[in-house]
Structure 1
Amino acid sequence: MTLLILGLILWVIPHSFKLIAPGMAKSIPEGPRKGAVALLTLVSLVLMVVGYRAAPVTGGYVAPSWGVHVNNLLMLISVYLFAASGMKTAITRVVRHPQYTAVILWAIAHLLVHGDIASILLFGVLLVWAVVGIILSNAQMQWTKPTGPVNMGKEIGAVIGTLVVVAAIGYVHILLGYRPFGG
């Protein structure tokens, strides 16, 4: 579990730096700061995946049998929100923090189907990180809701992209030995 914990630390610190220490973050030139965050993100993802896969499946709680169905719905919404944030689709007029919200839904979805200690740690920490990120971000910055016409090309692209990514995620989960669609 050491690698998993180290990966979570390397995720949370750089992804929270601008919100926790905005003055210090502004003092670092944007290029090097973004480069460091990108590198730490890559390292943290590798550590989280390797650490999670190596962790024993012990303790925790028994996930509900219906959890897989809710998981699939939440994952579909989560992937859409993540895509929509980058594409600035209409949902960004309603959801101020689509990426944080996507992480929250992703974490809840996985906690509905995995009750072991490693899963609680991984998904629980990222859930708390995203909730705290929304709270800190809201406290520090005003929100100007996006306006203007809705670009239907972006909307359709986000939906198609979401379906492709969800199918790919399902396929990878099957390759890893999970049953993402129940059964």
Structure 2
Amino acid sequence: MTILIIGIALWYAGHFWKRALPARHAAMGEKAKGVSALILVVGIILMVIGYRGVESYDLVAYPAFLKHINNLAIVFAIYFMSPGPSKGALFYKMRHPMLTGFIIWSVAHILVNPDLASMILFSSLTIWAVAEIIVINRAEPEWTPNPKGTIAKDGMFLGASVVLTLIIGFVHGLIGPSPFGM
């Protein structure tokens, strides 16, 4: 569990150190991006190792239908993490579609993973994404949405999100539990 928590802490640090230590970040110039990337990669590796290494048990039993809600939520999470919202007509005024997609993804994983390690990991990532939205909005209050796109672009990216969900679900089933119950 310690490795998992260190990984989560590095995830937070890699994202927030620009705002927490602006003078240090600015002094590093372009190297700061590399430092951030390194911190994040190490954090992700530690989260994966920590998560897979924790002997965990389910805290509650979840109803089987939540797996279907999870899979549908993942389609929307992938859509919001795609260029679709900024290129389409439905969500072009949304300021943080990628973070919104991340929140949907992490909450969907909480729904179907009722064990302690999952609760810690996905809850921490949800809190991070909400905090990131708040920090960005406070630091950069002025924002202009992209020009309105077309419904066809929304449809194209939603269709691509369905295909990506199927591909990701297949790979997920090869390395862990299948989200499709196969």
TM-score class normalised by the smaller sequence: 0.7 to 0.9
Matched, 1:12 2:12: yes
TM-score, with structure 1 as normaliser: 0.85
Asked whether the equivalents of residues 14 and 37 of structure 2 are also in contact (C-alpha less than 8 Å), the reply is: no
CA–CA distance in 1 between the matches of 2:23 and 2:92? 29
Identity of aligned residues (%): 34
Partner of 1:89: 87
CA contact (8 A) 1:93 1:145 kept: no
For residues 134 and 119 of structure 2, the distance between their equivalents in structure 1, rounded to whole angstroms, comes to 22
Looking at structure 1, the residues matched to 25 and 160 of structure 2 have their Cα atoms a distance apart, in angstroms, of 33
Classify 1:153/1:127 alpha carbon distance in 2 versus 1 (closer, same or farther; 3 Å): same
**Matched AA of 1:114:** N
Alignment of 1:66 with 2:65, yes or no, is yes
Q: Offset of 1:150 from its aligned partner? A: 1.7
- Structure 1, gaps ≥5 residues long: none
- Look up the match of 2:114: 115
- Which residues in structure 2 correspond to 1:129-168 (within 5 Å)? 129-150=128-149, 155=154, 158-168=157-167
Deviates more, 1:87-96 or 1:33-42: 87-96
Partner of 1:100: 99
- Once the two structures are superposed, residues 107-157 of structure 1 have per-residue CA deviations (whole angstroms, 9 ceiling, x without a partner) of 110010001010001001000111111112112212433243526786465
Task: Write out aligned runs for 1:23-42 (5 A).
Answer: 23-29=23-29, 31-42=30-41
How many Å separate the matches in 2 of 1:20 and 1:61?
A: 37
Match in the other structure for 1:124 = 123
Q: CA RMSD in A?
A: 2.4
Deviations 1:45-100 (A, max 9, x none): 11111211111122522223221111111111111111127x83235523211121
Query: 1:43 and 1:164 mapped to 2: Cα distance?
Result: 30
Change (3 A) 1:116 1:147: closer
